[in-house]
Chain A
């Protein structure tokens, strides 16, 4: 498999806390991957290491064969688990910023998605609800023809109807030669769209498998397997 994402022996410590320990992971192109694990399992840390927002304590991360840096950031479309735009910006400024910095950004597609949401370009970012802000960010991230989409908790904190909208947006808009990584603990909601799953527990990779293999070998849904694997004592 030509690795689009290659994580080798990555350990990340914050002081005495070990967030990730000896993580090895390879993902190929054209897949939709669920990065699954309970809260505090290291999902966000792993995503941030791939984006380049954190520096590994040990090990290496490569995207398309290149160590994380300016070149890989051109290939990665990242949706953080928080609002990252300055509240004083207008929606059109956010679109302009993406259009300015990313060559693979499809401005027409972004405008179309925002129009479908009923969001006008002149609207101030601060005037939008939390859910709307998340949708604006998702629309911008999914309007890129990226090689790797990293979506950190895209459906966390929104109502079930909004979850459907978000997942539909992801599936309908991602660049099909790219790989989508969805980090979440809401397995049941994303299960239907996933090709592969990566289970993280206490900063270690517990299991990497295709969804079909789990269903065939165990006759259970990913959600059921997840609940068994991560059952609290």
Chain B
């Protein structure tokens, strides 16, 4: 039953999202071709009406593309939330009379929503890369990654943790909305008003819980920072001198970092930064997942044992 629900959910949402994603990719491709042409025309001294017309069209296409890619993840989230809201309205008379449990309904919708939200982020990243490919975007990214790797920065683990964090945070957002909508009939006659009030309360609760969790969970990172810094200061006295020197010069953080990377202490510093990054990313992801579980259980309770379709 769960697989059937998932299939139906993906089928009906694909009709909305696939054309949007395709539009983003196509516009990126068109912009990748046209932007360099417009640039060349801009460099030319002889400007004709035709050139201005072409520039105008290219400009409009570029604006359209950037509006689409900036709005895409939000649009996808809004659509999945509206779908869930409607599933507890008139459409609920169909869905909740099917022989499926509240958990199966919730899992199917959550899985589909999460997949589309993450896909939207991937599509945005891919279309931006494609759009700027003629300006060497792939080269810049791969160069950055190669440089970071050459300093011993653990790119793959950090990238994986970052993706897990993005997915967990998205999941938390989706389930916060779902729980608010599921609770709404129990707190107000107006389903929309109830959902809004419940969401505001749930959002504040989520933020407070995440902050509290991170303040505790980041302790290992702080300890790690303290011990590594202690190690650098006392086992590598030159490091301490160096830090004092750059501090007294009052140079900016970026210059400090750049100078540091040129020293013998680079590997120790990179190791410190990457380990702390991993610990913090991991802590944030776990926090988001724990809060997601709470909202999932709340939603399941109100869709199952307390279901009241108005």
Could you tell me which A residues sit within 8 Å of B by CB distance?
14-15, 48, 51-55, 69-71, 73-74, 76, 78, 80, 82-86, 88-89, 97, 100-102
B258 within 8 A of A: no
User: Could you say which residues of chain A place their CB within 8 Å of the CB of B8?
Assistant: 97, 100
Nearest-Cβ distance from residue A48 to partner chain B, whole angstroms: 7
A209 to B213 CA separation, bound complex (whole angstroms): 63
Q: Name A53's contact: one of B1, B189, B307 (CB within 8 Å).
A: B307
B306 within 8 A of A: yes
A201 to B1 CA separation, bound complex (whole angstroms): 39
B241 within 8 A of A: no
User: Could you say which residues of chain A place their CB within 8 Å of the CB of B100?
Assistant: 70, 73, 101
Q: Name A83's contact: one of B4, B90, B306, B308 (CB within 8 Å).
A: B90
B83-115 interface mask toward A, CB cutoff 8 Å, 1 = contact, 0 = none? 000100011111011111100000000000000
Of the candidates B8, B86, B97, B98, the one having the most CB atoms from chain A within 10 angstroms of its own CB is B97
A/B interface sample: 18 pairs, CB < 8 A: A14-B308, A15-B189, A52-B96, A53-B92, A53-B93, A53-B307, A53-B309, A54-B308, A55-B305, A55-B306, A55-B307, A70-B100, A80-B93, A86-B86, A86-B91, A88-B15, A101-B4, A101-B98
Of the candidates B12, B86, B305, the one having the most CB atoms from chain A within 10 angstroms of its own CB is B12
Taking a contact as CB atoms under 8 Å apart, the answer to whether B307 and A54 are in contact is: yes
Taking a contact as CB atoms under 8 Å apart, the answer to whether B97 and A73 are in contact is: yes
Q: Is the interface of B mostly helix, strand, loop or mixed?
A: loop
Known contacts A54-B307, A54-B309, A97-B8, A85 near B15 by CB under 8 Å: no
A83 to B4 CA separation, bound complex (whole angstroms): 22
A194 to B77 CA separation, bound complex (whole angstroms): 49
A84 to B93 CA separation, bound complex (whole angstroms): 6
Q: Name A82's contact: one of B12, B93, B101, B306 (CB within 8 Å).
A: B93
Nearest-Cβ distance from residue B155 to partner chain A, whole angstroms: 43
User: Could you say which residues of chain A place their CB within 8 Å of the CB of B309?
Assistant: 48, 53-54
A95 to B75 CA separation, bound complex (whole angstroms): 30
Taking a contact as CB atoms under 8 Å apart, the answer to whether A53 and B91 are in contact is: no
Chain A residue with minimal CB distance to B302? A55
Count of chain B residues with a beta carbon within 8 Å of a chain A beta carbon:
23
Chain B residue with minimal CB distance to A141? B97
Taking a contact as CB atoms under 8 Å apart, the answer to whether B91 and A84 are in contact is: yes
Nearest-Cβ distance from residue A42 to partner chain B, whole angstroms: 15
Chain A residue with minimal CB distance to B100? A70
Taking a contact as CB atoms under 8 Å apart, the answer to whether B99 and A101 are in contact is: yes
The 7 closest A-B pairs by CB, nearest first: A80-B93, A84-B94, A84-B93, A73-B99, A53-B309, A74-B99, A78-B97
User: Could you say which residues of chain A place their CB within 8 Å of the CB of B307?
Assistant: 52-55
User: Could you say which residues of chain A place their CB within 8 Å of the CB of B90?
Assistant: 80, 82-84
User: Could you say which residues of chain B place their CB within 8 Å of the CB of A74?
Assistant: 99
Known contacts A86-B12, A88-B15, A52 near B93 by CB under 8 Å: no
Taking a contact as CB atoms under 8 Å apart, the answer to whether A52 and B15 are in contact is: no
User: Could you say which residues of chain B place their CB within 8 Å of the CB of A73?
Assistant: 97-100
User: Could you say which residues of chain A place their CB within 8 Å of the CB of B101?
Assistant: 69-70
User: Could you say which residues of chain B place their CB within 8 Å of the CB of A83?
Assistant: 90
User: Could you say which residues of chain A place their CB within 8 Å of the CB of B91?
Assistant: 84-86
Taking a contact as CB atoms under 8 Å apart, the answer to whether A100 and B305 are in contact is: no
Known contacts A84-B90, A84-B91, A88-B15, A51 near B99 by CB under 8 Å: no
Nearest-Cβ distance from residue A149 to partner chain B, whole angstroms: 12
Known contacts A82-B90, A83-B90, A100-B4, A53 near B97 by CB under 8 Å: yes
